[in-house]
Structure 1
């Protein structure tokens, strides 16, 4: 007789197939055995995280996502740890990446692109109000749920406002070249909010045009195009959206349009419904602190046990 397959469990979650893999993490489909709710389980190897000094970045990603409870942002439910692994339980989003939608179906009509852009601005505005800057906004990091609603994901490169220096600016160059704001490239410090907004402008252009506003195989030429905001809107766009894109893709962050100004823009406002959601405050980070504290102590102990026999023979 065939033995029934024993399902692997992590806490109350039954773990299934792998749905994604990166350098430091594997993402598996899982199901909450109490509620039957599907989740995405991000599994990190503690030893790799500590060896590559990634603990602070992972802590930051988790802390960031715990601060954000918004219908257009992927939810983080909880964090757990074992002797060798860190488990991050995330909302399971079934509709794929917005990027795939563009690749498979090409450019969008203005009303469809507008709906996604409105949801993106809602999410980004909320993140900024919590002192959180994403810093890597692009269609690959925008997921769609079963109802076609946009969900911002991947806060691995995000920055919390505590990391802002005394000059009030962030100083880490990061992101994906085609979507990065000119001030991020010039290495003189930048405002996380205005840099995120530039990326939103590039995303809007891509949704409507079906191609990137700034593109070149030579990185130096690409950076020059971005710094000069050297792009041309396709002729099929309406004048009102061309005007909005030009105000977002302003190479000067001081004169670039702000989110409050976008919210009253005539093109943006059409059919706009602000999100209504119940926000429960719960930003307790004890679970993640415990997960990392335990692993840091164990890592030091293991190191001591390896080194001690060598020292005693010297």
Structure 2
């Protein structure tokens, strides 16, 4: 570690993006952690325009369910953006492939997502890349919308404009985004609907919402009831999804209508299925209701300019250029450790100093048996046998690359860490679909069953000593 500015220590790399990387910055007195997004202007001379647009939008926003923006610093060859560090991980990590998550949990996160997007729209901002990978969780398990690299202002001084930039992530984009100028709000609503399906069913309904896609065509024509993921949804949630994923944007539910749907108003308990009279009013208070609710089972171009902002704010990123990761989340195991207690009152630059830290709760990691030697070689051998391309860095981090079922790039990293005498293998998504990454992780862990230490990973305080070469 080294000082970035007086009183703040520069930590390890948290992530990599289209224009640069993200590092963890820690206050040497309070231990406060901040994510610092770094954009290299030598490698990307045109990136300053994108930074200006992103930070302009960030400065417009202040909401408990949107990642907090702290500020910006400009230098001749580098731009820095300082963002809230979300210690709870990514939403996609809570989604079990082909299963999803408990309905009460999906409802909680979906309500918070709707609240965040409703706030964005009240400020005239469209996110345009809503997906689980861009939804983070704080230390209190509250959802935070992040990554505003594709966001834009669509309403200014009461005047609304149509958008025509084809951007986003294909399985989550609305059909009108791929075909013609579109209105911002229905397009974001569509993405929210896809996220709800992913949370409840653990899979995405289609590769892209086009007539050439048979899964989408079946949905559009109403011939989907026997197909997944729809067969996994109960009547109440399916009713809401039908309204949010109407193929005509003018007929699609608004966020206000979504909030008033019975699935949103019905309290789903952690320890039991939905009861017909367990309904919430607008203030979140229980009230008796005579309605017979269904039971919910436990279930994961350039744009036109507008007045007031300069022409340099246009963005030119496309589907292929956009990295599939969340900027304020870490890549390596060491960066998943959020300091909760120090052995001294301040950080030092002594690399050998042990720091007592707390693991961020995530599910894509496992311990291997302590007698297992050369775990990195064994892991790489297995991955290459399965058709993955692997590369090991000088510090022992394994970068794994492949393509998913949509023939889109999928890149993740495996970091092997000595955790106070126990060997932890930690997987982290770098680019691609989070659910597909989770599905691959589950298979890899199953295949390596003989090497995996039985039992769940212990989440409480642990000591991180070093990464294994």
Same fold (TM over 0.5): yes
String of CA shifts for 1:100-120, please: whole Å, max 9, x gaps: 221479411211111010000
Where does residue 304 of structure 1 map in the other structure?
A: none
Choose which of 87, 96, 101 in structure 2 pairs with 1:94. 87
Q: Number of matched residues? A: 267
Measured against aligned partners, the alpha-carbon deviations of 1:234-258 in whole angstroms (never above 9, x if no partner) come to 3342211111000000000001000
SS of structure 2 residue aligned to 1:23: coil
Q: Is the 8 A contact 1:182 1:223 kept in 2?
A: no
Name the residue aligned to 2:113.
Answer: 120
Structure 1 residues 11 and 227: CA distance shift in structure 2, 3 A: farther
Partner of 2:23: 28
Determine whether 1:235 maps to 2:231.
yes
Among residues 260, 263, 272, which one is paired with 1:264 in the alignment?
260
User: In the TM superposition, what is the alpha-carbon distance from 1:223 to its structure 2 partner?
Assistant: 8.8
1:136 aligns with 2:129: yes
Does residue 133 of structure 2 align to residue 146 of structure 1?
Answer: no
Q: What's the RMSD between the two structures over aligned residues?
A: 3.0
The answer for the alignment partner of 2:5 in structure 1 is 10
For 1:193 and 1:65, the matched residues in 2 are separated by 18
Which runs of 5 or more structure 1 residues have no equivalent in the other structure? Answer: 1-5, 276-288, 293-314
Q: Which of the numbers 179, 190, 195 marks the counterpart of 2:182?
A: 190
Between stretches 261-270 and 239-248, larger displacement belongs to 261-270
1:204 to 187, 191, 196: 196
Deviations 1:258-287 (A, max 9, x none): 011111111112346879xxxxxxxxxxxx
Task: Tell me the CA shift for residue 9 of structure 1.
Answer: 1.2
1:262-314 Cα offsets, whole Å, 9 max, x none, are 11111112346879xxxxxxxxxxxxx9xx9xxxxxxxxxxxxxxxxxxxxxx
Distance of 1:226 and 1:16 partners within structure 2? 48
Q: Quick check: 1:221 aligned with 2:216?
A: no
**1:109 paired to 2:102:** yes
Structure-2 residue corresponding to 1:302: none
Partner residue of 1:71 out of 61, 64, 70 = 64
Task: Identify the structure with the greater strand proportion.
Answer: 2
TM-score w.r.t. length of structure 2: 0.52
Change (3 A) 1:219 1:268: closer
Does 2:34 correspond to 1:39? yes
Give the equivalent residue in structure 1 for 2:55: 62
Describe the SS at the equivalent of 2:250: coil
Question: Residue 66 of structure 2: SS of its match in structure 1?
Answer: coil
Instruction: Tell me the equivalent position of 2:242.
Output: 246
Bigger fraction of residues in helix: 1
| 1:255 aligned residue | 251
